[in-house]
Amino acid sequence: MRAMVLQEFGSALVPVEQEVPQAGAGEVLVRVEASGVNPLDTKIRAGRAAHARTELPAVLGLDLAGVVEEVGAGVTGFAPGDEVYGLTGGVGDLQGSLAEFAAVDARLLARKPHSIGMREAAALPLVVITAWEGLIDRADVQPGDKVLVHGGAGGIGHVAVQLARARGAEVFATGSGASLDVIRGLGATPIDYTVGDVEAYVAEHTGGEGFDVVFDTVGGATLDASFAAVRTYTGHVVSALGWGSHSLAPLSFRGATYSGVFTLLPMLTGKGREHHGEILAAVSELVDRGLLRPRLDEKVYPLAEVAAAHAAVESGARQGKVVVSVRG
């Protein structure tokens, strides 16, 4: 099979001919059709993602969508011919999705939504699992909650907005410039973070009470702003990028709570992988009900043009999620 391999951090991925892997016990061999490209993929390649431990040489690529070729011993939920998707590799010792085939832990997979294609499906796993773990597993968003998503037009943010709305929440999201129209189009109330301050938009949209849930997808100063925007006592702040050092005083003075999300943990430790599959199965139902759709960059990148796909993600010159078409 063809695979794109990283030989050393900071270098380009190079094409390599490899043997097709075998599906071991508990694994599924997937014929990869599409591989989603995340900012994290580019950071791993550059050697700037210590939290995403990767053993070189490595086939990168976190997200995949494809077709089951064979199932290993003990696998009961899948059969050859099933269309599947998942967050399955590219970290630790797990082969990534920038290859024509991948043998992956069946617990990390779910059947692809029927109503979307392979490229759209490959755009979802990392971002939608992160959004689900934050909004549902940690914050338990309920109908009528006022939810603020920081970075509402971004990769995680745009699915978080849709997921919160599907839960019946009233959703607000920060952005600037053209992203405000994207946020509005997703059904959320846009907040231009370049105009006014946290106190101003908390006063305008919550009467000064604060948001029930604040989901930070940006990190840094935005996480600090989240602590100042949450509701007293019952509010919950969740961050997918809580990697820095922050003062908890604003949060503590509100008696509110905080949770972090580290989506890669089941892949790195082997613990809790079945929950990723459960999340994706539930997401497939939402997609097929028309409640959630990924924003996809229209440009099609074949496997040989992975470098261009990574460059597009790094430059920000894209209108949605970048996806590599591994076949065709």
pLDDT tens, residue by residue, 265-288: 999 999 999 999 999 999 999 999
Domain match, 191 and 135 both:
yes
At which of 230, 260, 290 does a domain end?
Answer: 260
Domain match, 189 and 308 both:
no
Domain match, 101 and 221 both:
no
The CA-based dihedral angle spanning residues 114, 116, 120, 122, taken in that order and rounded to the nearest 10 degrees:
10
Q: Domain limits at 170?
A: 127-260
Flag whether 315 is in a domain: yes
Whole-number Å distance between alpha carbons of 38 and 240: 14
- Sole residue written with tokens 């059947």: 111
In this structure, are strands 63-71 and 27-37 parallel, antiparallel, or unpaired?
antiparallel
pLDDT over 70, % of the chain: 99
Domain match, 9 and 118 both:
yes
Domain match, 298 and 206 both:
no
Torsion sign (Cα): 66, 72, 75, 76 = positive
Count of domains in the chain? 2
User: Is residue 226 over pLDDT 70?
Assistant: yes
Return the bridge partners of 233, or none. none
Domain match, 119 and 179 both:
no
Whole-number Å distance between alpha carbons of 54 and 89: 10
Domain match, 253 and 135 both:
yes
Output the domain CATH number for residue 89. Answer: 3.90.180.10
pLDDT-derived band at 316 (thresholds 50, 70, 90) equals confident
> 173: which 2 tokens?
């999201």
Domain match, 74 and 171 both:
no
CB 118 within 8 A of CB 140: no
Whole-number Å distance between alpha carbons of 135 and 150: 13
Whole-number Å distance between alpha carbons of 36 and 122: 5
Domain match, 240 and 144 both:
yes
